[in-house]
Amino acid sequence: MAIAINGNGTITGITAGGLPDASIVDADIAAVAATKLTGTVADARLPTVPVAKGGTGLTAAGASGQVLTSDGTNWASSAAAGGGGDTRNFIIDGDMQVFPEGYKTSISHNTYASSLFTFLHVGAGVIDCTQSTDVPTVGESSHTSGESLFYDITTADASMAASDLYAIRYKMTACDFGYLHQQEATLSFWVKSTKTGTHCVFFNNSALDRSYVSEYTVSSTNTWERKTVTLTFDTSGTWVTTGEAGVGLYLGWAIAGGTDRHGTNNTWQAGQKYMTSSQVNGLDSTSNDFRISQVMLTLGSSAPSAFLGQPISTVRDQVSYYFWDAFSNTVSNEYTDVTGNAVSADAGRFTVPFHRRMRAVPVMTQSAGTSFLIHGGTSDRTLPADQGYTYFYNIGQKACKIQLAVDSSTLTTNQQVMLLRNGTATAYLRADARH
């Protein structure tokens, strides 16, 4: 069988017999290439539709680092590549879902606001840090957020002293930072601020002697805007990248600060820096608000298009590695799994099992004695307010013990006792293993 093709690439006839070598000549191939493939070897773009369908247009070249995408029929325009093979979000609870200690009014320096985000406060201003339901819409962000971290100015600080500092900061455990060390990564987040103009994010090592400051612009007042900052983590200085004990990376958002806190934009530098001299003063009026939500830190030169979150059960488990609370304070006279035995007529000793192994041996705290009841036999016993006969001991990463006194000698030695919430009082036994 022989196939006849004219110079335009059209089949003009088919005859029986073998296909001789001369049936398709070089001139025919050249003619087809000239009319159907308008690209060249040096121009590696692809036709927008398959050649057999008559397509002659080429895809847009795109930008450096972008990848080719398809709309299901044709090759579509280029789009940003993901963060590489590792697409994890290295920020825990970046969607601000967990506030284990409740809201913080008049928050103090280096105090946790949400689960793992702290507040830096040096200066005369006063700020409340709470959880807000004001969030980016799903139409804006392609993700449904429940909450944002809300930074509300209640006392202004219009004139910054050189050492003043107001910022939100996140601490990343060293072994988690090991995945990012000396790698290119992208921080992305949504921000809503009353103050327009130049704002800054910052990155510090654990020794606070290496810093990277990057500016971003808030364009519209009180409007949710997405921002991204790409950097390559420092190859100089001392960085902790292994183990659970240390901090590998500090990162955060500057609100305002004095000249001692100023550094150079977009460069690694010596010292403890949080912003450039262009940072707006977010404390100059009590009308100022600042919110962040959907915080991600991912490997690569660009961020995923939508927030990478975890199911709430996973987020709570991640948070409980750092912080655990025995009570949820949702049910009157709520019982917990904290049980023990009476060691005397007026004291009970309890085993406190943590939900999981914690990052480190935690610091234990409790609410007032009047917030608890000790149940033994068929009755509940109240506790004295001062709880002078209370102490934690045998504190480990998985459990500890606590001894609590009752205000009347009505227990029977060695009888089983249980700890419960006294009515609707705010009760807690807390294990804090955060950095």
Enter the tokens of residue 423: 């009515």
What is the per-residue pLDDT across 64-90, written as a single tens digit (0 to 9) for each?
555 566 655 565 555 555 444 678 999
How far, in Å, CA of 29 to CA of 27, rounded? 6
Expressed as residue numbers, the domain containing 55 is 2-80
How far, in Å, CA of 288 to CA of 186, rounded? 28
Residue 399 lies in a domain: yes
Q: What is the pLDDT of residue 95?
A: 95
Residues with Cβ within 8 Å of residue 183, at least 6 apart in sequence: 232, 233, 299
Q: What is the pLDDT averaged over residues 411-419? A: 94
Residue 180 lies in a domain: yes
Residues with Cβ within 8 Å of residue 297, at least 6 apart in sequence: 89, 90, 91, 180, 185, 186, 187, 188, 251
DSSP class of residue 95? T
- Contacts of 108-113 with C-beta under 8 Å, sequence gap 24+, read 112/434, 113/149, 113/168
Enter the tokens of residue 405: 């006194």
Enter the tokens of residue 29: 């191939």
Whether residues 288 and 354 share a domain: the answer is: no
How far, in Å, CA of 6 to CA of 30, rounded? 11
What is the per-residue pLDDT across 203-225, written as a single tens digit (0 to 9) for each?
999 999 999 999 999 999 999 99
What is the per-residue pLDDT across 9-35, written as a single tens digit (0 to 9) for each?
555 665 555 555 555 555 655 555 555
Whether residues 404 and 380 share a domain: the answer is: yes
Highest mean pLDDT among 259-263, 309-313, 408-412: 259-263
Helix (H, G, I), strand (E, B) or coil at 370: helix
Helix (H) or strand (E) holding 318: helix 312-320
How far, in Å, CA of 133 to CA of 112, rounded? 19
Cβ-contact 25, 2 below 8 angstroms: no
Whether residues 216 and 243 share a domain: the answer is: yes
CATH label of the domain that carries residue 253: 2.60.120.260
Whether residues 157 and 201 share a domain: the answer is: yes
Average predicted confidence (pLDDT) for the chain: 86
Whether residues 143 and 229 share a domain: the answer is: yes
CA distances from 204 to 74, 118, 175, 240, 248 (A): 46, 14, 16, 11, 9
Residue 90 lies in a domain: no
Q: Which amino acid is at 323?
A: F
Residue 94 lies in a domain: no
Q: Give the rounded percent of residues in the chain with a pLDDT score beyond 70.
A: 80
What is the per-residue pLDDT across 329-349, written as a single tens digit (0 to 9) for each?
899 999 988 999 999 998 999
DSSP structure string for 216-260: EEE-STT--EEEEEEEE--SSS----SSSSSEEEEEEEEEEE-GG
Q: What is the pLDDT of residue 222?
A: 97
Q: Which residue has the higher pLDDT, 49 or 150?
A: 150
Q: What is the pLDDT of residue 182?
A: 97
Whether residues 120 and 11 share a domain: the answer is: no
Residue 103 lies in a domain: no
Exposed e or buried b for every residue in 382-401, given b needs 16+ CB within 10 A?
Answer: ebbeebeebebeeeebeebb
Q: What is the pLDDT of residue 51?
A: 47
Can you list the positions of beta strands (E) in 133-183?
148-155, 165-173
Q: What is the pLDDT of residue 319?
A: 96
Whether residues 312 and 333 share a domain: the answer is: no
DSSP class of residue 108? P
Residue 102 lies in a domain: no
Cβ-contact 316, 98 below 8 angstroms: yes
What is the per-residue pLDDT across 127-156, written as a single tens digit (0 to 9) for each?
998 999 999 999 999 999 989 999 999 999
Domain boundary among 272, 290, 320: 320
| pLDDT confidence band for 286 (50 / 70 / 90) | very high
Whether residues 306 and 361 share a domain: the answer is: no
Helix (H) or strand (E) holding 122: strand 117-122
How far, in Å, CA of 383 to CA of 406, rounded? 4
DSSP class of residue 104? B
Whether residues 291 and 340 share a domain: the answer is: no
Q: What is the pLDDT of residue 266?
A: 98
How many structural domains is the chain composed of? 3
Cβ-contact 244, 227 below 8 angstroms: no
Q: Is the pLDDT of residue 231 over 60?
A: yes
Q: What is the pLDDT averaged over residues 118-125? A: 94
Q: Is 211 exposed, middle or buried (0-12, 13-18, 19+ CB in 10 A)?
A: buried
Whether residues 135 and 40 share a domain: the answer is: no
Residue 88 lies in a domain: no
Q: What is the four-CA torsion angle of 261, 265, 266, 269, rounded to 10 degrees? A: -50
Helix residue spans in 126-211 (DSSP H): 138-141, 174-177
Q: What is the pLDDT averaged over residues 160-174? A: 97
Domain boundary among 320, 348, 371: 320
Enter the tokens of residue 186: 């992208």
Q: What is the pLDDT of residue 359?
A: 97
Whether residues 212 and 272 share a domain: the answer is: yes
How far, in Å, CA of 350 to CA of 76, rounded? 64
Domain boundary among 320, 336, 360: 320
Cβ-contact 299, 84 below 8 angstroms: yes
Cβ-contact 148, 292 below 8 angstroms: yes
Whether residues 202 and 177 share a domain: the answer is: yes
Residue 207 lies in a domain: yes
Helix (H) or strand (E) holding 336: strand 335-344
Q: What is the pLDDT averaged over residues 370-398? A: 86
Q: Is the pLDDT of residue 199 over 60?
A: yes
Q: What is the pLDDT averaged over residues 363-375? A: 92
Q: What is the pLDDT of residue 337?
A: 85
Q: What is the pLDDT of residue 242?
A: 96
Q: What is the pLDDT of residue 265?
A: 98
